[in-house]
Amino acid sequence: MNNDEQLHGTGRGGVGTDQPRDSKGALAELRAQLEAKRVAQKISKTQLAGRAGLSRTVVSQALSDAAPAPSAQTVGALARALALEVRPLLDLLATASGTAAETGGRLLGRPISDWAPLDLEVHPAVDVFSSSERGRSGRGRVAALPSYVRRPHDDVLAEVVAAAGDGTSEMAVLVGSSSTGKTRACWEAVQPLSPRGWRLWHPFDPYRAKAALTDIAHVAPRTVVWLNEAQHYLGAGEGVGELIAAALSSLLTDRKRGPVLILGTLWPEYAAVYNALPKPGIEDVHFQVRQLLAGRQVPLPDSFDDAATDITKKLADKGDRQLAHALEHVRGGRLTQFLAGAPELLRRYEVATPSARALLHAAMDARRLGAGPYLPRSFLEYAAADYLTNDEYDTLADHWLEEALAEIGAPVHGNLAPLRHTFAHAPPTGSRHPQSRINRLTD
């Protein structure tokens, strides 16, 4: 679907020109499609009610021209029972209920099934597949995601999503450090809403805060509002974050606009800022945000517990090579950090400046030849010279070492860095170098 289709609702499953524009016509068309399929399958309304898990009365009213429009849940249940595509029927229902008109003839976002997880900022995972395997499996340049390992926070999310699916507007914000699995957890959580015709709106164009503030008022029922890295919305300057928080609160409490589901992610340091009470006499700049987040934050652990690690091992034994690779290289349960950080570490190596790459090559060879994890900086400086061409060496700046170490010491996803300054528990045996001159190569 192109941008024009998304904005005007003329793409696949949208409220396009080929669908009835008036509410009566849309409702009549909706009922006609359901009834035609029921007749074609030669089943009674009672049998249809049994298939859909609905009462006979609800089914009769849904198909009757004299009754009010059925609910989205009823339409979804009937569509599944009759093997009809849910999305066009719900778009007809939106037109019939006036939702499409209220949103300017368009529906924000796209059906959940039309999204790919990487488009929603789920980090790509470590690639353990060969070129031929990618070709056979249909994998592109980015490796497929590994099997998902459920953890306790997933149960909390599932309850929130289920409540939204049952008709109650809900919100949850996952709070965790970098690459702990927040965005992937949100992606997995919304999957049950996909066959029920829900849409997902990721406000980011032209930039996040503006997109959200401009269009929150047009969010239609059965929409997931995707606020990954929610600080870009809730922490927007000049009071914009407060305006967005207030608009989200209104969306959640307006029953005519529901059900909707708002999912967000936050790092703990941002959550701490928004949750902090202001000191007396100081302006409360995060009042609306704090009220919005109250009771809606779901913490994520930094690492897998024993139960999650056991599940990971079982999935690895069944053939998930990405998880197996992570288990081989990770200690302390920080599996998601490794899975998300490894591709970015490789990219950082590939685009490194010659001096930074020379340091990495020196450190890599030292480790391969038996050196320990803690490498003296003076050794790296001396060894790196042999990995530079004459031209590269002759053009080194006066402070090349500090600049190169800063370049490859900056963290990527999961708080990993290619080569970072650290403190050894003790200086290397026989070393005269103080602890402050030690660097460690990431595995």
pLDDT tens for 267-308 read 999 999 999 998 888 888 999 999 999 999 999 998 899 999
pLDDT of residue 199: 93
Residue range 229-269, pLDDT digits in tens: 999 999 999 899 999 999 999 999 998 899 999 999 999 99
Q: What percent of the chain has pLDDT over 90?
A: 39
Above 70 in pLDDT, residue 134?
A: no
pLDDT of residue 106: 63
Kindly state the tokens that stand for 170: 């809900």
pLDDT of residue 368: 79
Write the Ramachandran bin of 184: left for phi over 0, alpha for psi from -120 to 50, otherwise beta: alpha
Number of other CB atoms surrounding residue 22 within 10 Å: 11
Confidence of residue 128 (pLDDT cuts 50, 70, 90): low
How high does pLDDT run on average in the chain? 82
Confidence of residue 12 (pLDDT cuts 50, 70, 90): very low
Name the CA radius of gyration of the chain, rounded.
27
CA distances to 149, 157, 391 from 182, rounded to whole Å, are: 12, 11, 45
Architecture of the domain defined by 114-299: 3-Layer(aba) Sandwich (3.40)
pLDDT of residue 267: 92
Torsion of Cα atoms, 412 then 418 then 423 then 428, to 10°: 170
Q: Where are the beta strands (DSSP E) in 63-176?
A: 110-111, 170-175
| Cβ 259 vs Cβ 169: under 8 Å | yes
| Cβ 442 vs Cβ 345: under 8 Å | yes
Mean pLDDT for 357-380 is 82
Q: Where are the domains of the chain?
A: 3-106, 114-299, 352-443
Above 70 in pLDDT, residue 126?
A: no
Nearest Cα neighbor of 93 from 215, 216, 197, 202 is 197
| Cβ 442 vs Cβ 414: under 8 Å | no
What CATH number labels 3-106?
A: 1.10.260.40
Mean pLDDT lowest among 23-32, 217-226, 312-321: 23-32
- What 3-state DSSP class applies to 438? strand
Q: Which residue has the higher pLDDT, 86 or 29?
A: 29
Kindly state the tokens that stand for 41: 């399958």
pLDDT of residue 4: 37
pLDDT of residue 364: 85
Above 70 in pLDDT, residue 3?
A: no
